Amino acid sequence: MDELDTAAILPGDVFNATSTDGETNDSCVHKGEAVVPTTRSGRPPFTCCLPVSVEPVLFLSMFSLALQSPLSTQYLWDRISEDLGYNGSKSSECNNGSVPPDPLQTEVETLTAHWNLYISLGGFSVGLLVVPLLGSWSDLAGRRPVLILANLGLALQAVVYLVVMYLKLPVVYFLVGRLLSGLSGDFNAILAGCFAYVADTSDRRSRTFRVAVLEACLGLSGMLASIIGGQWRRAQGYINPFWLVLATNLASALYAYLFVRESVLPDPSAKLLTSRHYKAVWRLFATGGSNSEADRRFHRCKLCLYTLCFFLVVTVHFGSRELYVLYELSSPLCWGPALIGYGSAAQHLAYLSSLLGLKIMQRCLEDSWVALVGLASNIIGLVVFSVADTIQLMFTGYGLCFLFMAATPVLRSKLSKLVGPSDQGALFASVACVESLCFLVGSGIFNSLYPATLHFMKGFPFLFAAIILFIPAGIIGTLQCLDQRRDHRDSTAS
């Protein structure tokens, strides 16, 4: 036990749980397939009888985020419309595509997009510094503290939003809430902690599907929150749904404290504010996660290329997702809260259909080809969104995107498999950093591109997103062909 590594212990690893005097050491317990180390500080007060670990944490956190995001955009739209004296719901031109756009509506759209940009930039720029710090720190201190801290930060953001709504403060105070959430890691820290936990407790063969299950939790919670949020906002306004956002974040933090068992052996002396955590992430990409000089360049190249693919795919996901509500609120669609909720639910339903499709396709296809099918589904759906001017066409686009989330679990799994068990925390810290950068870049590009292209093609940002996705598709396909050629050459030589 003196030489016990504080990093992840995979299911296939041999672990001797006896002390020097021959008695059983209580520093590890069996949890399903995995051997999960625990200590007095890592053992939760209660044991969950269900076959789940961090899935409820991610489910509840995503529920609060999916409930909050479209409502905050609609609140910004309504507050800015009120300040400018615009009432789009009574405009007869809203459903008449032949009438030129109302200049006041264009101004409302532009200001709403810009405020979305400012709020996102503020929160994610802070998170860009904090998330890799927390992710690498969790290798030593454990996953639970990160999950609890990030959820409490999101709860504090909900409190700030409620104060703004109750007192009708200027919308600039939304930025204060986002900054406070970013300082605690934001939702990206929860993602990093949950995916690192799954890497700790799964073997290489099942990791892709386990990651996809977490992605499906994102979709299911997002779908439920979208349906509830749209109907609830129409019936009772904004304040009551945001009380549920607050309660959900607190419930997620409480579950992580009470039921989540540590997947690493916590080090009580681990320091959070140290440059060591940033250096661990740098060393991972500098060495390619390999101790062999011959394999170092190859692994480093694949790590960088798969990370680039992940960056492009997730940037498109988050950047285009922020525009759906704006696109649907304005003419010629002019959707109300209920339709916006159904549209967001249809988008999140694709998480479940992607999980089912991934499970089926894995029976006959390599993971890389599964990712390419998912990217093709996303590209086709985005092209339809770019020209959608009716309810039927918009929901057709949502339907064609039914496999759009099949690529991200494959990329996460491939990155995880490229490094050893002791590097999983540093890896997911870097992935979390990339994901924060995706939010930052996606928000900046798409919220700036949308108002800039309203005058010649309203759906151009969706078409632009579809074009970007051809880049990761080409990289993934090329790497898979090179891997197959290399495997064939090795088998022929042997």
Q: What is the dihedral of CA 433, 438, 439, 444, to 10 degrees?
A: 130
What size, in residues, is the chain? Answer: 494
Rounded to whole angstroms, how far apart are CA atoms 170 and 164?
A: 7
Q: pLDDT at position 4, please?
A: 35
Report the CATH number that the domain containing residue 407 is assigned in CATH.
Answer: 1.20.1250.20
Q: pLDDT at position 9, please?
A: 35
Q: Is the dihedral of CA 174, 70, 356, 261 positive or negative?
A: positive
CA angle 242, 247, 250 (to 5 degrees): 130
Tokens at 197, concatenated: 């936990």
Rounded to whole angstroms, how far apart are CA atoms 147 and 295?
A: 34
Question: Is 398 within the bounds of a domain?
Answer: yes
* Digitized pLDDT (tens) for each residue of the chain, 494 residues in all: 333 333 333 333 333 333 333 333 333 443 434 444 444 445 676 666 555 688 999 999 999 998 998 889 889 988 988 888 887 644 444 554 555 667 888 888 888 888 888 888 888 788 878 888 888 888 778 888 999 999 999 999 999 999 999 999 998 999 999 999 989 988 888 988 898 898 888 887 788 888 889 888 887 887 788 778 877 888 888 899 999 999 999 999 999 999 888 878 877 777 777 777 777 777 777 766 555 555 667 778 888 899 999 999 999 998 888 788 888 888 888 888 788 878 877 887 888 899 899 999 988 888 999 999 999 999 999 999 999 989 999 999 999 999 998 999 999 999 888 877 667 777 887 887 787 788 778 878 998 899 899 888 989 999 999 999 999 999 999 999 988 888 778 777 76
User: In a 10 Å sphere around its CB, with 0-12 CB exposed, 13-18 middle and 19+ buried, how is residue 65 labelled?
Assistant: buried
For the chain, the domain total comes to 1
Question: Is 22 within the bounds of a domain?
Answer: no
Question: Is 259 within the bounds of a domain?
Answer: yes
Per the structure, the complete domain to which residue 172 belongs is given by 28-90+98-493
Distance of CA 51 to the CA centre of its chain: 23
Rounded to whole angstroms, how far apart are CA atoms 154 and 178?
A: 8
Rounded to whole angstroms, how far apart are CA atoms 221 and 219?
A: 6
Question: Is 21 within the bounds of a domain?
Answer: no
Rounded to whole angstroms, how far apart are CA atoms 125 and 88?
A: 33
91 φ/ψ sector (left φ>0, alpha ψ -120 to 50, else beta): beta
Question: Is 205 within the bounds of a domain?
Answer: yes
Question: Is 81 within the bounds of a domain?
Answer: yes
Rounded to whole angstroms, how far apart are CA atoms 17 and 14?
A: 10
Question: Is 44 within the bounds of a domain?
Answer: yes
Quick check: bond before 268 cis, omega within 30? no
* Neighbouring C-alpha atoms within 13 Å toward the C-beta of 234: 13
Q: What is the dihedral of CA 109, 115, 116, 121, to 10 degrees?
A: 150
Question: Is 7 within the bounds of a domain?
Answer: no
